[in-house]
Structures are given as structure tokens and as C-alpha cells.
Chains A and B, each alone.
Chain A
């Protein structure tokens, strides 16, 4: 008998706009000790499935069908009894470990409460169990960490605490809902490694709910593919990945950008090599003042960007990659002059931004536009789409009359794949992908020379991601745009860029042509970053050896001396702490590493 058997599960939500049927006739089984991956894009009902099973649906939701845990139907169970199941027999880990932990309680208080809610044990015994589990999830100094508050731990450690808490009572089922989505890729690799390890040690069935096919490929035994509340396909992980039966699965697999392959790069326009650069930033530093510790503490500096050079040729796409805290978004904001630079210079179209008058700066901005990460947040909710896209024209082309503005707006909306009939509607009426198209239309309406894209696709589903990337490729070809494409996703960057710059803690680690970088990463950080990205390919993902980085990004207020990466670098030597490496040419790439030649000579790391 399967451990959990779900039959004809239906979940419906009553909303002011009518009923939403979130999960439709879902049936599946979960065996003891098995790892089941549930994959789907947003709105597929993958999370609501388990929320309904453990009785945590929003108040306007209703579930029908059966979900038998070892023979007992959870959906028919009275609330009081269900509470004894929740946490004890079925445990859940959520996406954001910060919001799942109570900020006013210590880790110990929360973990002990979790045990004592279900078992009558002494505090000392409960505490001992907590330490044991924190050890199991590889948290250093567990006894010390127990007394800490959630905000004193990093994101990765918090997620480990969540996992430890959920395992305290040795549940039969552990439901992990997007457990690594809020984490950086190197930290994600650590958590996935941990889950893989725990899977072997505890006899717990794991349900892994995620949008990331790579995560599923490395961890799951079986996979369910969901789309709009329906189960599209289920099967063993290798069957689903290598012999997908359903069109949707095939589409999903094709949409995932692959780190290990990419379409050939579009050729650079010929004049690119010789023409003056559109953007020429030299040793840009952006430091933010932060209050020091204590009442009279000295003000300290957060070095978000600390000496970065960036050049962008006409028609070129420069990818900027890095984890959160690497300074890539701050760099973009410095180029756009949204934050003041502390030192260094930024020249756009040959004019130094610092020396320009407000009017001159405005004139430059006509050729320098931006697309932001969160498509909905980047659009003013109180303005119509027509007004949003018209605004750059009002600012820069005041001579145009209302009819001409309108014509230009309709034109550009059609160009980005919308109908042009959206003018009177408001942003919240559109999906994320459509909102991003509106954002691109706004950036494009002035026909600029450069668009800075700050994580333009990371908030979108993979299938939408692909559409937006293709749109950007098309627009680049048609308008000869130069792009600065900022992303944390190495695979997406690979699809678009001519050159890629890798950043870590405010410094550039490596700059290389796209193909050189992906085939032969020279910097240890680049190598680790690539090795951390999960591949949507079960065999390759399970077979490859990886260098999992220890720890997490150090504080940019007190960066390590010498090489910024040395505290996590597997190849660090004494010299790395003493001397900050500068970007040096190595072959056709630029690398900031003292040991680049040496490492390249001794062991060629296998390409991912």
C-alpha cells in the first residue's frame, strides 16, 4: 500500500471574478521513502495540492476528493486530529525561510515548540534532539546557533534550520515547496546536496515541489508534471526527461535554457570592434554609508561595487552574472545614474555623466533605457498602459501631438507582441510576461541605443522566459540595440550574450567571450558557479562531479582582504589574503586570480 494516496483531488477558490479551479481531478500515489518531484509553472496548482492535503488552504478555498495517509483520509479528518498529523507525520518546508520563522523567537524556542506541540518531553531532551538535527543538516556550532534569532542567520542557514525543524519528529512525508528558489545558486547546491544526503539517512518520503527542472532531475525518483491544475504526465524521472509523452512536458523541457548548450552567438556588428564604446565605465565604486554598531559606532561603508570597469560596444550584448550581493544591480543603477558613484567615471556615448548638466543628462537618457526585474512592480499601478508607454515620449519628444504619441505607442506595443488595444487597461490586468512586454515597449519607444536589462526574466516562468529572451534577440537584431543583460542565471545569460562578466562581492572575477567562458571557465568562482547550476538532465546531473562551495557570501561591509573570493575558494593560498588580484589577460579572457595559469595547467576542470 502506498504511503499517501491521492484520488480525484479538486481544489476550488471562490474569488470576486468567479470560481478558480486550481487543482483538477488529481490522482497520484507516494511510496514510502520515495522522492516525488512535482513540476509546474506558476498557477499550475502544484503548491495548492499539498496545502489542501494538510488543511492549510486559504479561507476561500475548498478541497474535495480523498487523500489517504496510511489508509486515513486527511481531507475528511476533523481539524483537531489533522493538527496531530501536520508537523508530526507530514512536515512542510516553504520557499522563504525568513517568513517561515518567527523573527521574535530564538531558533531554540521554535524548534522546541515544534517538538513539544506533539510530544511530552522535557526541555533538555528536546534541546538535545534539536542539536542532533542541526548537526545532521550540517550547521556548524549548533549549540550556539540555537540561541540565535532568525535574522542573525544567513538565508542558507535558515533553510537548513527549517529542514532540521521539519525532520525533528521524523515525519513520514516531507513536503518541500520550492525549498531553494529564494537562495543563490551556490547555496542552492548546498541545500540540494543536503537533501540528497538526508534522503539516504532518514526513511522519509520527500515531495519536492518546484518550477526548476534541474532540481528535480538531480533529486527525484518519480516526477509529476502539472499545468493549470491538471496532471499532464507522471512517471520515473528518466522516462519523463528522456521520453516525455505529453506535449506540455516536451515544451517545458525545450524551454529550459541549458547551461551546457546554446544557440550559436549572433555575430557582432562589424563596426563594434572599432567604434567608440557606448558605455565606458572605469573603476566605478559605489559605497553606501551604513550606521556602525552601537550608539556611537563609526559609520561604515557597504562596498556594493568596488572598482569595476565596463565597456559596451555598439550592438553588443554584455552579460553580467553574479549571485545576490555581487553588486551587479548596483552597477546597473550607477550606469543609469540612479545611485551616485563614489569614485570612478561613467561615460555614456562618450560623455562623462558626472560632468553633464541635468538637461544634458536627460538627453543622454533618451538613448539609455532600462528594463527591470519585477515586471508588475516596474509599472505604475495607477497609470494606464497607454500612459506608461507614452511617458518617455512626453519627456523626450514634447513636440509630438497626442495623435502621434498614440500612433507610436500602438506601434511599439505591436512590435513587442501585444495587440495595441491595451492602451486603456491597467498593469494588474496583465500576466507577468505581458507586463514585461509592456516594460520592454516603454524602453523601446524612444528607439534607444542601449537597454540595461536588470534581471528581466528571473521573475517569469520558463516558457515565458523563453519568449522574452527571443523577443529581446529579435529586437536587438532589428534595432541594432546594445544590451547590458544582468542575471543570476548563467544559462539565460548564455543565450543572449556576446561577452560575459562575472561579479563577486562588488569585484569583477572574470570577463570573457561567451563561448570561452562557458567552455573553459578560468576563475575558480566561475567554475564553482557553473558546477552549482543543476542540469535538467537526470543522468548528466547525477553523474557529474561538483565543487560545492562552502559557506555564503561574506558581508560587503567587511569584505575579505586580498581576493574577495578567497574565503570560499577551494584553491586559496596565503598570497590570496595578502594581495588583491587584478584582471589580467589569460588567453583571450581577463581573469582576476593569482593562480589562474597554475590551476589551468595542473588540472583542467571538466566542462559542465
Chain B
């Protein structure tokens, strides 16, 4: 097999993202975990590029790494987690969780996909995604906006400081 730069890049990013994910769930300091998750999201954006999902790669960096992860970091720094490093990182039941994880990895050994030729050789550019989003997927798109609105209102109601009732 001829060495292909794109294939090599994919395998590097796959390995790096698995390593980042493992480090993210095992670090004691929550801020270190967040930084490893940032590394995971960046590598996953690279994987999206290899899979010809350019718009998804941009959204992954801007929305996931840029907005959601920063939100998590703000919460970590807002709360007082000073005792975090002295407490055990896993609950007492963690071997059971490990068994559940291994069962999912066993699933990974059985994907059977017959190779097929794609109908459209270059999916994934922004104009085509936009046409899908505002054509056949217009109703789900609007419903997602409602879900986000509900989430915004819910977050405000939950996190608001309650006045003391008389």
C-alpha cells in the first residue's frame, strides 16, 4: 500500500483523539480534563475534514470548542472545587463502568459495511448543507430552534436567584 498523507493524518488524529479522551476522563483536575477535551475536539474536527464534512469541522471548532467547552470551563471556575484533588476520582462502582465500556468496545469489532461507491463524489460543501437545511430539513431545523429557546429559558429560570417568599 502506498503511503497516503491523508490516510496517515486520519490515523494520527484517530489515535490522538482516543488518547485525549482517555486522559480527559481520568485526570483528577477538572481544568486539565477540559483541556484534554479541547484537544479531542480539535482532532475530531480534523477527522471531519478527512471525511469531507468541512462545514461540520468548522462548527465543531466554533460551537463545540469555542462555545460549549468555554461554558464548561466557566462553570468549573465559578464553583468551588478546591477539595476535588483530594477525593477519589471514580466512584466505588468503577469496575462495573469499565465492563460497560469494554462491552461497547466489543461492538466496535463487528461493524460490517460493504464498500460502495458514493453517488456524489464530493458531498460536504457549505452550499449543499445549506440547501438540505432549508429544503427537506426545514421543519426539524425550526424545531431545533424551539428546543434551544426552551433550553435558554430553562437555564435562566434554573440559575436565577430566587427572591425570598414572605
A and B: real partners? no
